[in-house]
């Protein structure tokens, strides 16, 4: 049954009295209850119009974040605002049920931020309530960041897994480190001390390391909060490249390329001056380290057999062994490994018919899975959900960053300006 659609404000007004009855039904604090839904499905969620300053933008950001998670189906509330509420003022759960919604998000802008109630349609009740603090100026970059965090919390209420909307992707554009939000908005450039490559996030999310190249090549660690840079020093006749932090955040591993090959070295962040060698390359090039989440092993690119392949070694450098020993494709160029956050697989690039494509391979079964085929695709980086991958693709004619949901195969373009390379997905940001 279709009613004439009224203004979102009128719909929001219909729930003006509702928050009081919601508070009366508040569940015990600290108990997280997810939706009653089947895993593997994408529960439908409705975000009711949000009354208050910047309410429309807030709602748009929440809906988009839910949509981009690829774990929820966002349902539009259209045509029947009157049917959404019962005469008593509470939600018409039956109506939402017939829409296919499993959850309804009801939010109101308050003096301190955003009051949010999550309704479980099947349970016909509110299953979580929270007053989120939003202190930033509406529409600003920091405000969007906070709203993304709210979306992630609500997603965690619904699916028991926190969302990744409050993450950023660091990448290189014309040898400068850039940051862009999860939704492709708010791209900014960081100040760099030289021509930069290979940005890498510290696991705490507060620092980014990168390397410069040419004479005076060095590893730089940039603190995003203070803007200060820490410099690991330049040496004559040496290129320092591909920095990566260990999962415990205490050390940094990078490749030192000298006139006798390139090996991986580890250096403590708390002031120890001398790097400790990890790989024994014997003159070969060993670059691009990526640690397993437990910190025990590291994957890297090595040409010790003559052409680049992906290797895995124990963190102390022992037991180095080839990972990409498969016949598929050109067999002579595999590189850029990134270990998944759940430790189960490694994403990398492998040359097929002269062009790189993105592959994943599970540590256990060692069966390669080709994930891309259009254009040339390189430099994969896992999202903290262990499910999404960002990478560089030339499928539109220029180098752009694309995001792939490895579970559904859904693909979206993250950047619009060409020349984006070497992406690195941040950990979940935000204070807990």
Partner 1 sequence: MTLKTRFIPLALILFTVASTEACRSAPQPVVPAVDTAAERMAREAELERQRQADAAAAADARARAVADSIARVRAAEDAARRETDMLRSTVTNVITFDFNRAELRSDARAVLDAKVPVLLANSGLTIRIAGHADERGSSEYNLALGQRRAAMAKRYLVERGVAEGRIETTSFGEERPVCNESNESCWAQNRRDEFEITAGGTMLRRP
Binding site for partner 1 (CB under 8 A): 175, 195, 197-198, 213-215, 217, 236-239, 241-242, 255, 257-262, 285, 287-288, 301, 303, 307-308, 332-333, 335-336, 349, 356, 378-379, 421-422
Least Å distance, CB 234 to partner 1, is: 10
Residue closer to partner 1, measured from CB, 87 or 214 = 214
The nearest distance, CB 333 to partner 1, in angstroms, is 7
Query: Residue 179: which H helix or E strand, with range?
Result: strand 176-181
Closer CB to partner 1, 158 or 221, in the complex: 221
Residue bearing tokens 């006749």: 237
Could you tell me the smallest distance in angstroms from the CB atom of residue 23 to partner 1? 54
Residue closer to partner 1 by CB (options 102, 172) is 172
- Which among 391, 382, 298 has a CA at the least distance from the CA of 340? 382
Please return the burial class of 428, using the count of CB atoms within 10 Å of its CB with bins 0-12, 13-18 and 19+.
middle
Q: How far is the CB of 342 from partner 1 (least distance, A)?
A: 24
Distance in Å, CB of 232 to partner 1, minimum: 16
For residues 356 and 402, which CB has a smaller minimum distance to partner 1 in the complex? 356
Phi and psi angles of residue 220, each rounded to the nearest 5 degrees, phi first: -120, 135
- Secondary structure letter of residue 262 according to DSSP: E
Nearer to partner 1, 70 or 338 (CB): 338
Q: Min. distance of Cβ 335 from partner 1 in angstroms?
A: 4
Task: Describe the crossing of helices 141-159 and 55-68 by its angle, rounded to 10 degrees.
Answer: 50
User: At its nearest, how many Å lie between partner 1 and the CB of residue 231?
Assistant: 17
Minimum CB distance to partner 1 smaller for 80 or for 394: 394
- Least distance in angstroms from the C-beta of 356 to partner 1: 8
CB of 207 to partner 1, least distance (A): 20
Query: With left for phi above 0 and alpha for psi between -120 and 50, is residue 232 left, alpha or beta?
Result: alpha
**Strands (DSSP E) along 283-419, which ranges?**
286-291, 297-302, 309-314, 321-322, 334-339, 345-352, 355-362, 368-370, 377-382, 388-393, 400-405, 411-413
Distances (CA, A) of 378 to 19, 289, 349, 421: 49, 16, 6, 9
Q: Using the minimum distance from each CB to partner 1, give the nearer residue, 64 or 178.
A: 178
Minimum distance of partner 1 from residue 171's CB (angstroms): 12
- Per 3-state DSSP, the chain is made up of helix, strand and coil in percentages (nearest 5) of 15, 40, 50
| Tokens representing residue 193 in the block | 């001390």
Helix (H) or strand (E) holding 152: helix 141-159
Q: How many CB atoms lie within 10 A of CB 57?
A: 15
SS3 345: strand
Tokens at 268, concatenated:
């403590």
Count how many residues are written for the chain.
Answer: 432
Q: Which is nearer to partner 1, 275 or 308 (CB)?
A: 308
Q: Which is nearer to partner 1, 56 or 330 (CB)?
A: 330
Q: Based on CB atoms, which residue is closest to partner 1, 2 or 237?
A: 237
138 phi and psi, to 5 degrees? -55, 145
* Structural Rg of the chain based on CA atoms: 24
Measured over the CA atoms of residue 327, residue 328, residue 329 and residue 331, the dihedral's sign is negative
């Amino acid at each position: 049954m279709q009613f004439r659609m009224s203004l979102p404000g009128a719909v929001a007004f219909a729930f003006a009295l509702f928050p009081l009855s919601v508070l009366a039904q508040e569940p015990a604090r600290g108990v997280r209850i997810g939706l009653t839904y089947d895993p593997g499905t994408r529960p439908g969620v409705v975000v009711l119009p949000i009354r208050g300053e910047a309410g429309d933008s807030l709602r748009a950001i929440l809906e988009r974040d839910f949509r981009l998670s690829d774990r929820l189906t966002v349902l539009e509330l259209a045509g029947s605002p009157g049917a959404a509420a019962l005469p008593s003022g509470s939600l018409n759960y039956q109506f939402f049920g017939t829409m296919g919604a499993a959850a309804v998000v009801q939010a109101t802008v308050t003096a301190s931020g955003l009051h949010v109630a999550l309704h479980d349609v099947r349970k016909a009740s509110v299953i979580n309530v929270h007053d989120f603090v939003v202190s930033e100026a509406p529409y600003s970059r920091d405000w969007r960041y906070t709203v993304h965090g709210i979306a992630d919390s609500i997603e965690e209420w619904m699916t028991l897994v926190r969302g990744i909307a409050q993450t950023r992707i660091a990448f290189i554009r014309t040898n400068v480190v850039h940051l862009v939000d999860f939704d492709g908005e708010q791209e900014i450039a960081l100040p760099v001390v030289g021509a930069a490559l290979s940005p890498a996030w510290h696991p705490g999310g507060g620092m980014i390391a990168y390397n410069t190249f040419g004479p005076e090549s060095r590893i730089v660690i940039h603190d995003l909060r203070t803007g200060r840079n820490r410099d690991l020093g330049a040496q004559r006749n040496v290129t320092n490249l591909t920095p990566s932090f260990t999962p415990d955040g205490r050390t940094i591993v990078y490749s030192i390329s000298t006139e006798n090959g390139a090996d991986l070295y580890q250096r403590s962040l708390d002031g120890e001056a001398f790097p400790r060698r990890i790989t024994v390359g014997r003159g070969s090039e060993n670059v691009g380290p990526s640690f397993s989440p437990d910190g025990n092993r590291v994957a890297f690119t090595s040409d010790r057999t003559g052409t680049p392949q992906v290797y895995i070694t124990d963190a102390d450098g022992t037991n180095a062994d080839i990972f990409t020993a498969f016949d598929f494709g050109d067999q002579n160029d595999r590189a850029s490994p990134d270990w998944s956050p759940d430790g189960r697989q490694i994403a990398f690039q492998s040359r097929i018919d002269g062009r790189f494509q993105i592959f994943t391979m599970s540590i256990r079964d060692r069966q390669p899975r080709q994930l891309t085929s259009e254009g040339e695709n390189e430099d994969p980086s896992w999202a903290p959900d262990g499910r999404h991958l960002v990478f560089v693709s030339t499928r539109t004619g220029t180098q752009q960053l694309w995001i792939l949901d490895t579970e559904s195969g859904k693909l979206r373009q993250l950047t619009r300006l060409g020349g984006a390379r070497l992406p690195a997905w941040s950990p979940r940001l935000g204070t807990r």
